[in-house]
Homo-oligomer: A and B are copies of this chain.
Amino acid sequence: MAENGNLKIGFLGPTGTWAEEALIAATAVSADETQPIPSVYDVIAAVAAGEVSQGIVPMENAIEGSVSATLDVLAFEVENVHIVREIVHPIRHRLIAGNRLPLDQIEKLLSHPHAHAQCRRFIREKLPQAEIVAANSTAEAVRLVSLSDRKWAAIGSSLAAKSYGCMIIEDDIEDYAGNQTRFVMLSTTPAPQDLETGYKTSIVCTIAHDQPGSLLQILQEFAHRYVNLTKIESRPSKKGLGDYVFFIDVEGRKDDEQVAAAIKCLECKLARVKMLGSYPVG
C-alpha cells in the first residue's frame, strides 16, 4: 500500500485506537506496516515531513461532530497534505476491564471525555457510583486499566480490549445506536482522479471580516450549478468570536466542469479557498 518504499502508515495512537481499528478494517495492512503516532498534529506533521507514506486521523463523528484538531491543522498549519481517501467506520463502545467486574463495584471509569459524553445515559443508569476519570484516548484508558489491579473499567474499542489483554464486560453502551466516525487518509501525493467511483471534494473557505452575506454566496455558487453539498461546517477563524471559516464537502471531482467553475468563482470572491482534497467516497 505504501507508495514510498518501506515507509509505514501512521495512525493516531496508541495501539488500540478507533483509528487503528478503522485502518485494519478498511485495508489489508499488517501490524508491521503501521505505526502509532501520539496526536493528530503529529500524524499530519509526519505525513507533511515524509516520515510516513500516509496517515489516518478522525475527521468527523456522527454524534460529537467534527474533530476540531484535524480540521484546524489541515486548514491552518500544513500546505502539502491532501485527503486521498475517506473511511467510515462504526463506533461501538465497549465497557472493558481486567476481569469480569460486577457493574456496581466499578470504582473508576476511565476514557476520553468524548467517549464519556457518548455513553452518558449508560453511565447515569448503570454506573452512578463510578468516578469519571479523563484519559488522553480510549486506548490509553484501556491500557491504564490493564496495568491496574483496582476495580477500574474503561470505555474503548474491542481492538483495545484485545491489544491490552482485557475483557469486554458490556457491548454497545453508547447512547445513540448507529454511531460512526469518518476517518481520512492523508498523503503528500493527491489521490488519483481516474477511479471508477463517486468522488468528493473538500475545501475550506475563509471569509473576510464583516461579510455576513458570504455564506449565502458560497451556497449559491454550488446550488445554481447543481453541485450537491454533503457537508458544511463552520469553525472559528481563531481571530475572535464571530469570525468563521467554512469547511465544505461537495459531490464530484475537483476537475468536474461545474465543481471547478464554482471553486474558481469562490476564489475570486473570498479571502481564501483552500483545497483539502478530491478523493473517492468512503
Known interface pairs A215-B232, A240-B180, A241-B182. Does A135 touch B134 (Cβ–Cβ under 8 Å)? yes
Please provide the chain A residues from 161 to 197 with a CB less than 8 Å away from any CB of chain B in the complex. 176, 178, 180, 182
A80 within 8 A of partner (CB)? no
Distance (whole angstroms) from the CB of A257 to the closest CB of chain B = 20
Decide yes or no: A234 and B236 within 8 Å by CB, A241-B60, A241-B62 being known contacts.
no
A266 within 8 A of B: no
Of A8-16, A20-28, A112-120, A270-278, which binds chain B?
Answer: A112-120
In the assembled complex, A64 has its CB within 8 A of some CB on chain B: yes
Cβ of A106 within 8 Å of any chain B Cβ, yes or no, is: no
In chain B, what residue has the closest Cβ to A219?
Answer: B216
Q: Is the CB–CB distance between B230 and A232 below 8 Å?
A: no
Alpha-carbon distance A233/B234, docked complex (angstroms): 6
Given contacts A65-B68, A65-B234, 14 further A-B contacts (CB under 8 A): A60-B236, A60-B241, A61-B236, A65-B235, A68-B117, A69-B117, A88-B241, A112-B134, A133-B136, A180-B241, A212-B229, A230-B242, A232-B234, A233-B234
Complex alpha-carbon distance, A223 and B211, angstroms? 12
User: Copies per complex?
Assistant: 2
Q: Does A213 contact B (CB under 8 A)?
A: yes
A132 located at the interface, meaning its Cβ lies under 8 Å from any Cβ of chain B in the complex: yes
> Hey, which bits of chain A sit against chain B, CB under 8 A?
41, 60-65, 68-69, 88, 112-113, 117, 120, 132-136, 176, 178, 180, 182, 212-213, 215-216, 219-220, 223, 228-236, 238-242, 244
Residues of B close to A178: CB separation below 8 A: 239-240
Cα–Cα distance between A112 and B133 once the two chains are bound (Å): 11
Look across to chain B and name the residue whose beta carbon is closest to the beta carbon of A61. Answer: B236
Closest chain-B Cβ to A164's Cβ sits at a distance in Å of 18
